[in-house]
């Protein structure tokens, strides 16, 4: 019985001490590529050492709303090509530690068959057929999240810090010659999310009351156990 009561007391204290909770901060963004913007977040405030940061999760989502990449054959022959494209939305900061790999990437490689040039010629990137094509990105999306279980000390403090979002886009055409590439206005939207996973340290007064409560509970049971023995 004694060990069971002690266990109950320690579980009670343990539950209070490691009561984990979260602070989630979300900054929405949207725009036409390329985007270069900064977003403001609050540092994790330990409130005088009463809260302990356990980990930080960074997340970025990205969805294409419209636009896409263009291919235009300007050669005299039919072109069979592979069109590799990507849009990268990456996060960085001069205030807090963010790994250079944190970014959402919409990417794919698509095969295209383009007819011989219909007369637009080099320098005019025309997506209309039969010698051109538009790879519509509408609805394509990606997200990336990174959980920092160490090296998150730079997120602790008071006040605010900035996280920068920069987008870039690339394409590579292979398998044919004389094919021009480009892009139409690509609009995207998404969220940048910073989550603090932390636990609260109970105040000394609370801890003492819980300890006293547990000990008096134990004492009562000892007394009761003693009286049972007397019979």
Secondary structure, 3-state, 72-134: EECCCCCEEEEEEEEEEEEEECCCCCCCCCCEEEEEEEEEEEECCCCCCCCCCCCCCCCCEEE
Using CB under 5 A, which of the segments 12-20, 29-37, 113-121, 168-176 binds Ca ion? 113-121
**Cβ nearer to Ca ion, comparing 65 with 116:** 116
Question: Contact with Ca ion (CB under 5 A): which of 39, 81, 117, 171?
Answer: 117
Question: Contact with Ca ion (CB under 5 A): which of 42, 54, 95, 120?
Answer: 120
User: Binding of Ca ion at residue 116 (CB under 5 A)?
Assistant: no
Report in angstroms how near the CB of residue 135 gets to Ca ion at its nearest. Answer: 16
User: Binding of Ca ion at residue 71 (CB under 5 A)?
Assistant: no
CA distance 84 to 73: 16
Q: Which two tokens stand for residue 209?
A: 């009351």
**Cβ nearer to Ca ion, comparing 83 with 155:** 83
Report in angstroms how near the CB of residue 126 gets to Ca ion at its nearest. Answer: 5
Report in angstroms how near the CB of residue 116 gets to Ca ion at its nearest. Answer: 8
Using CB under 5 A, which of the segments 69-77, 162-170, 206-214, 216-224 binds Ca ion? 69-77
Question: Contact with Ca ion (CB under 5 A): which of 29, 56, 64, 72?
Answer: 72
Using CB under 5 A, which of the segments 11-19, 68-76, 184-192, 217-225 binds Ca ion? 68-76
# of chain residues touching Ca ion (CB under 5 A):
7
**Cβ nearer to Ca ion, comparing 132 with 214:** 132
Q: Which of residues 164-183 bind Ca ion (CB under 5 A)?
A: 180
Contacts of 30 (CB under 8 A, 6+ apart): 65, 187, 188, 189, 190
x/- map, 127-156, Ca ion, by CB under 5 A? ----x-------------------------
Measure CA of the first residue to CA of the last residue in the chain; give whole Å: 18
How far, CA to CA in Å, does 55 sit from each of 37, 197, 198? 25, 5, 7
User: Binding of Ca ion at residue 124 (CB under 5 A)?
Assistant: yes
Interface residues with Ca ion (CB under 5 A) are: 72, 74, 117, 120, 124, 131, 180
């Amino acid at each position: 019985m004694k060990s069971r009561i002690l266990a109950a007391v320690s579980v009670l204290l343990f539950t209070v001490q490691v009561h984990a909770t979260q602070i989630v901060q979300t900054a929405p963004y949207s725009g036409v590529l390329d985007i270069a913007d900064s977003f403001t977040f609050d540092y994790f405030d330990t409130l005088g050492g009463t809260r302990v940061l356990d980990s930080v999760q960074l997340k970025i989502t990205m969805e294409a709303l419209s636009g896409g990449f263009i291919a235009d054959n300007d050669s005299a022959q039919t072109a069979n090509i592979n069109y590799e494209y990507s849009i990268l939305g990456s996060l960085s900061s001069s205030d807090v530690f963010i790994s250079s790999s944190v970014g959402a990437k919409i990417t794919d490689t698509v095969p295209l068959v383009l007819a011989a040039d219909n007369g637009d010629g080099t320098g005019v990137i025309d997506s209309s057929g039969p010698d051109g094509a538009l790879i519509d990105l509408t609805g394509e999306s990606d997200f990336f999240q990174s959980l920092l279980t160490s090296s998150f000390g730079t997120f602790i403090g008071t006040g605010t810090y900035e996280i920068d979002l920069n987008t870039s886009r690339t394409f590579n055409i292979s398998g044919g010659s004389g094919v021009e590439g480009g892009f139409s206005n690509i609009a995207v939207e998404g969220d940048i999310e910073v989550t603090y996973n932390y636990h609260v340290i109970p105040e000394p007064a609370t801890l003492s009351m819980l300890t006293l409560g547990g000990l008096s509970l134990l004492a009562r049971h000892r007394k009761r156990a003693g009286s049972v023995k007397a019979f």
